[in-house]
Chains A and B, each alone.
Chain A
Amino acid sequence: MKVNPSPSMKGPINGANLTADTRNLPWHRPPEITDFNMGVQRMMKDIDEERETQLLYSLLELEVPVYIITTNLLLRKIGRGIIPIDLAVLMAGPVARYIEIIARDNGLVPDMDVESDEEPITPTLLQLQMGTEEEIRELLADGISPEDLDSDEPVEDTEDEPAMGLMGPVGDMVASKEEQASMLGEPAVDEEEELV
Chain B
Amino acid sequence: MDFNEAVRKSVKKFLAGKMDMAEISKVSKADIVYTLSFFDELEEEMTDEVPKGKKKKKKKEMVEDES
Q: A93 with B19: in contact, given A101-B39, A114-B8, A114-B12 (CB under 8 Å)?
A: yes
Closest chain-B Cβ to A67's Cβ sits at a distance in Å of: 5
> Which of A36, A66, A96 contacts B27, CB < 8 Å?
A36
Whether B34 pairs with A40 at a CB distance below 8 angstroms is yes
SS of B interface (majority): helix
Whether A37 pairs with B33 at a CB distance below 8 angstroms is yes
Q: Does B62 contact A (CB under 8 A)?
A: no
Closest chain-A Cβ to B66's Cβ sits at a distance in Å of: 34
Q: Number of B residues whose C-beta is below 8 Å from A?
A: 29
| A97 CA / B39 CA spacing, docked (Å) | 7
Q: Does B64 contact A (CB under 8 A)?
A: no
Whether B13 pairs with A93 at a CB distance below 8 angstroms is yes
Known contacts A71-B7, A94-B34, A104-B47; 16 further A-B pairs (Cβ under 8 A): A36-B24, A36-B27, A37-B30, A37-B32, A40-B34, A41-B34, A67-B4, A67-B7, A71-B3, A75-B3, A86-B27, A92-B14, A94-B14, A97-B36, A114-B9, A114-B12
A/B interface sample: 21 pairs, CB < 8 A = A36-B28, A37-B32, A37-B34, A67-B4, A67-B7, A67-B8, A68-B4, A85-B3, A90-B24, A92-B7, A93-B11, A93-B13, A93-B15, A93-B36, A96-B14, A97-B14, A97-B36, A98-B42, A114-B9, A114-B11, A114-B15
